[in-house]
Amino acid sequence: MQSKGLIKFLVIVVSIACLYSLSFTFVTRKVERDAADYAKGDMAKEKAYLDSMAGEEIYNLGLAKFTYREAKAHELALGLDLKGGMNVTMEISLDELILNLANNPKDEKFNTALETAVEKSKSVNKSVVELFVEEYKATGASIPLANFFATKDNSALIKSNSSDNEVRTFLNRESENAIQNSYKVLRTRIDKFGVASPNIQIQQGTNRILIELPGVNDEARVRKLLQGSAKLEFFSTHDNFQVYPLLENINGILASTIKTTTPAAKPAATADSTKAAADTTGSDDNLLANLGAGKKDSTDSTGISPDLAASNPLFAILNPATYTGENGQPSLMPGPMVGIANLKDTARVNAYLSRPEVKATIPGNLKLLWAVKPEPKTPNFLSLYAIKTTGVESGAVMSGDVITDATDNFDQQNRPVVSMQMNTEGARQWRKVTAQAAQNREAIAIVLDGVVYSAPSVNEEIPNGSSQISGSFTIEDTKDLANVLKAGRLPATAKIVEEAIVGPSLGQAAIDAGVNSAVIGIVVVMIFMIAYYNRAGIAANIAVLFNVFFLMGILASLNAVLTLPGIAGIVLTMGTAVDANVLIYERIREELRSGKSIRQAIADGYKHAMPSILDSQITTFLVGLVLFFFGSGPILGFATTLMIGIITSLFTSIFISRLIFEYMLKKDMKISVSYPWSAKTLQNANFQFIKKRKIFYVVSIIAVVISLGSILTKGFSLGVDFKGGRTYTVRYDQPVNLEEVRKNLDETFASTTEVKTFGSENQVRVTTTYHIEETSDEADREVLSKLNEGLSKISGSKHEILSSQKVGPSIATDIKDRAVWSAIFSILIIAGYILVRFQKWQYSAGAAVATIHDGVILLGLFSLLDGIVPFSLDIDQHFVAAILTVLGYSVNDTVVVFDRIREDLAKPGAHSKNFGDVINHAINTTLSRTIITSLTIIFVLVVLFIFGGEVIRGFSFAILIGIVVGTYSSIILAAPAVYDLGKGKHITDEKIPAAKVITP
């Protein structure tokens, strides 16, 4: 074996890296178990415990130390279907943006074109901007589009003589800005909401933002939080010198009304983050001196003595903004920042400031607001600012809608700054505001949604509305601030168009099902490998265990989110992990039968099996790649797991199992690749596949015709993500009659409702299209109210809604389009790869015939059996993932046969033989490999189908049936099709060499 030392080194390095990545999960789970033990079922106490640990060091690796928050960011997170929570897709209202940019024109053709564009966007995979420009042209309007958008506010961006293409570019750019701004606003709001490990990402190429909030159970609050319009404001500020006496007074009030034992009362199990500082002053006479004692500046420490904390509740958790003067004594810092607190203590500070006796002392023109994020030098601490309010409504001095543009730039010293321009009215107001601020030496706070993004000081009056904001900014800071400033100019609301809610009980059931299926699946595969391949099976099993370990470690290092389909991908990977070993072992057995020694048979077995292994795995990987780019949510998790699993499977099956064999050979250990009963399985198979191919063609044609007939007549039961609507998973106390539930809901909704059993007889899945066009909170509440009304009509059995999902018509259309394109691209990519590898179109066409055959029959079975089998056979995203996986595995087996054909044709004198005999021989000699590789995956899929849970039962059923059909087509159809497409003649000549191989 070549490069044995390098392979050992790689195994060690990858193992250490995976162990490191997974270690964060073990550490955070330990903290969370401690929190659960401490809270004893009280979720508020458990959250408070975890909040208190956010900035605490929980993992020390010597050179690197990690707080709970940092370790949490590196863990292998659980998806919503496993942990419970809320998944939301927000859609930015680009039609509202277009109207705002055009100052809400009254032109009939303009508004008609926009309304038509919005309506078309629900069924066409095109942006509202593109459709609007097209529709406006189609109206035959005489007024150029530029006339609407060349306003005073847009004068720097668009002119009255601009072309329609320039307008289109302008609108696309502003749309992108609006999406980025919305993303920024939503990210900040979610961070303030306090969700652990949220995931928020822009869906590229769309005006949608995907948000996953694990563990959230207050759905109404989340909807209100996410769908509110962003509000950008400018405020004058108070100075720290003015506010400190008030804070000191509040501190005294709190000390007299509450009893504080420690600075941050936490369970004894946690470390106290407010370490006692040495008392260098010797007395409590000077409170400021004591609070700032021993500090180099206001952010070096939050520590004070426990005695001082007992009499100073507020200052125990909120450090006054101070610095160390030339005399070594602490002094108040000038400016609007009045304090700094640990992130975990901000909620407690808010609670103190909200107490009635405290609120009564705070002047009406003072508002205390937190910074949007910690400073880079103090990653666990947040600054508190003193905001000056004006007017009867305690408002801002200016609103953000006066800003016409904001860009991130560099000043003359090449420092990152933000340039800001205002309209005429804004410039007039800005001149007055900045003049007053400069005179009083005040700062102006930039506030979005009640959070301070920046509070720059004003040096002089700014007369023309063009300003430059500088500070200790990074390039990312200036980009973020520019986006925030533009948020006021581009008011575009975000509405929920897709929503899924998974209750914690259903999530726990999914975890149990996933873990059970994974454990049982790996045990079944390992037993089979030992039972069939003797000692060689042990080497394969060790490789499988390494494969699972590597797979989990890589997923953790990528910060991947583990979903239920992801677990299904891991279970499938266990089956495919032995696929390569099966190909190798079958080839070793073949080499042994030719009289070679065990050492030579192993070397040649690995060498000759390599082309088939690579070709078969690459085709499946390509399908995973298509799923990755076209899928979303759980399907993305499945695709990621599938692709990584293929890579790790190749590494472990080829190299680790070979290292084990080399070790056994070195120790003169007996190596067996079979038992007496399994040694001759299909050894002398000589089935006349080519001779009887027409019989099989007829059987397949009949199956395809029946499938197409059912598809065209009966059709499918589409999942909610393909047709839109709302789906609810409901659990009753007792088994219920489906027809009775359906009848009650039909009467309540006054429309047809789909009701199916979901797992046990006391669980149902309800799908309704009632108010399908409405995505507002009011519509959600009305649908939920009617649902509960209909469900409650079942007497003697209470119900509980375990999960819900909402999909708007536009996103359903988009998902369907992506599904169709992913299927088309998968077939084209597979056919293209086979054409490159085998250099003749007949091979590509043969593989395409087999894959299309498999796809049609699988679709037909889902149509035929829907409503007959006792589980859901909905056509949804999971089914698309399943059918594409089936296509990949079908080609996997087909390629094994094609590789043997190529190998046989490369032998001397092969072209003197009948091409049909060559193909027949190739199919028969690879028959045991084809069947055994399929069997290992079928074993795993049966386990997944039985134990994987109701959520993925249809998914696992689709792959299970697809593998059976795919195995049939790869034996019966693919290679015979190559024979007929080549008209029975050799389609490879002797000049084409056999595939080059890599010897492990």
Q: What share of the chain is helix, strand, coil (3-state, %, to 5)?
A: 55, 15, 30
CA 874 to CA 951: how far, in whole Å? 11
Q: Are 53 and 3 in contact (CB under 8 A)?
A: no
Does residue 995 lie within any of the structural domains?
A: no
What are the angstrom distances between the C-alpha of 438 and each of 397, 435, 446, 456? 15, 5, 16, 11
Domain match, 801 and 848 both: no
Which comes out higher in pLDDT, residue 495 or 31? 31
pLDDT attached to residue 709 = 94
Q: Is the pLDDT of residue 294 over 60?
A: no
Residue 614 is inside which H or E element, if any?
helix 598-630
181-190, 195-204, 338-347: segment of lowest average pLDDT: 195-204
Whose tokens are 């159970």? That residue is: 217
Using DSSP, state whether 718 is helix, strand or coil: strand
What φ, ψ does residue 836 adopt, rounded to 5°? -65, -45
Q: Are 621 and 884 in contact (CB under 8 A)?
A: no
Domain boundary among 388, 407, 434: 388
CA 628 to CA 818: how far, in whole Å? 11
Range of 465-479, 504-518, 919-933 with top mean pLDDT = 919-933
CA 425 to CA 153: how far, in whole Å? 10
pLDDT attached to residue 893 = 78
Domain carrying residue 59 = 4-75
Q: Which residues contact 382 (CB under 8 A, 6 or more apart)?
A: 340, 341, 342, 343, 346, 370, 371, 373, 374
pLDDT attached to residue 301 = 38
Q: Which residues contact 595 (CB under 8 A, 6 or more apart)?
A: none
Does residue 84 lie within any of the structural domains?
A: no
CA 214 to CA 222: how far, in whole Å? 12
Residue 868 is inside which H or E element, if any?
none
CA 220 to CA 218: how far, in whole Å? 6
Domain boundary among 807, 823, 845: 807
Tens of pLDDT, residue by residue over 751-803, are 778 887 777 778 888 888 888 777 676 788 888 888 888 888 887 788 888 87
What are the angstrom distances between the C-alpha of 917 and each of 221, 512, 628, 846, 856? 70, 51, 41, 17, 30
Tens of pLDDT, residue by residue over 686-711, are 888 888 899 999 999 999 999 999 99
Using DSSP, state whether 67 is helix, strand or coil: strand
CA 490 to CA 153: how far, in whole Å? 11
pLDDT attached to residue 384 = 94
Which comes out higher in pLDDT, residue 46 or 711? 711
Buried b (16+ CB within 10 A) or exposed e, 445-457: bbbbbebbbbbbb
Buried b (16+ CB within 10 A) or exposed e, 714-726: eebbbbbbbbbbb
Domain match, 611 and 733 both: no
CA-based torsion, 301, 302, 305, 308: positive or negative: positive
What φ, ψ does residue 393 adopt, rounded to 5°? -90, 10
Domain match, 802 and 877 both: no
**Band of the pLDDT at 105, cuts 50, 70, 90?**
confident
- DSSP annotation string for 748-783: HHTS--EEEEESEEEEEEEEE-TTTT--SHHHHHHH
Domain match, 861 and 795 both: no
Which comes out higher in pLDDT, residue 13 or 911? 13
Does residue 646 lie within any of the structural domains?
A: yes
Q: Is the pLDDT of residue 16 over 60?
A: yes
CA 670 to CA 396: how far, in whole Å? 84
CA 52 to CA 32: how far, in whole Å? 12
CATH number reported for the structural domain that contains residue 466 in this entry:
3.30.1360.200
Does residue 764 lie within any of the structural domains?
A: yes
Mean predicted confidence (pLDDT) in 455-472: 84
Q: Which residues contact 176 (CB under 8 A, 6 or more apart)?
A: none
CA-based torsion, 588, 591, 595, 596: positive or negative: negative
Using DSSP, state whether 91 is helix, strand or coil: strand
What are the angstrom distances between the C-alpha of 431 and each of 424, 480, 772? 11, 25, 50
Does residue 838 lie within any of the structural domains?
A: yes
CA-nearest of 347, 332, 337, 432 to 390 is 432
Q: Are 78 and 201 in contact (CB under 8 A)?
A: no
Number of domains into which the chain is organized: 6
Domain boundary among 807, 840, 872: 807
pTM of structure: 0.69
Does residue 563 lie within any of the structural domains?
A: yes
Which comes out higher in pLDDT, residue 798 or 497? 798
CA 145 to CA 137: how far, in whole Å? 9
Does residue 133 lie within any of the structural domains?
A: yes
pLDDT attached to residue 339 = 92
Residue 202 is inside which H or E element, if any?
strand 199-202
CA dihedral 343, 348, 350, 355 (to 10 degrees): -170
Domain match, 662 and 736 both: no
CA 624 to CA 629: how far, in whole Å? 9
Q: Are 486 and 405 in contact (CB under 8 A)?
A: yes
pLDDT attached to residue 191 = 67
CATH number reported for the structural domain that contains residue 756 in this entry:
3.30.70.3400
CA angle 87, 88, 91 (to 5 degrees): 160
Domain match, 818 and 803 both: no
Domain match, 221 and 269 both: no
Domain match, 848 and 948 both: yes
Q: Which residues contact 488 (CB under 8 A, 6 or more apart)?
A: 230, 232, 399, 400, 401, 402, 403
What are the angstrom distances between the C-alpha of 345 and each of 281, 308, 341, 350, 444? 26, 17, 6, 9, 26
In this structure, what DSSP letter does residue 151 have?
A: -
In this structure, what DSSP letter does residue 797 have?
A: -
Mean predicted confidence (pLDDT) in 557-563: 80
**Residue 625 CA, distance from chain mean position:** 16
High-pLDDT (> 70) share of the chain, %? 88
Q: Is the pLDDT of residue 879 over 50?
A: yes
Domain match, 284 and 357 both: yes
Residue 990 is inside which H or E element, if any?
none
CA 155 to CA 157: how far, in whole Å? 5
Which comes out higher in pLDDT, residue 808 or 373? 373
In this structure, what DSSP letter does residue 736 have?
A: -
Q: Is the pLDDT of residue 996 over 60?
A: no
Q: Are 525 and 559 in contact (CB under 8 A)?
A: no
57-71, 851-865, 955-969: segment of lowest average pLDDT: 57-71
CA-nearest of 768, 960, 801, 949 to 871 is 949
CATH number reported for the structural domain that contains residue 845 in this entry:
1.20.1640.10
Domain match, 800 and 858 both: no
**Band of the pLDDT at 54, cuts 50, 70, 90?**
confident
Domain match, 420 and 402 both: yes
- DSSP annotation string for 161-183: T--HHHHHHHHHHHHHHHHHHHH
CA 363 to CA 203: how far, in whole Å? 45
Which comes out higher in pLDDT, residue 819 or 191? 819
Does residue 682 lie within any of the structural domains?
A: no
State the CB neighbour count (10 A cutoff) for residue 80.
26
Domain match, 738 and 873 both: no
**Band of the pLDDT at 295, cuts 50, 70, 90?**
very low
Mean pLDDT (the chain, rounded): 80
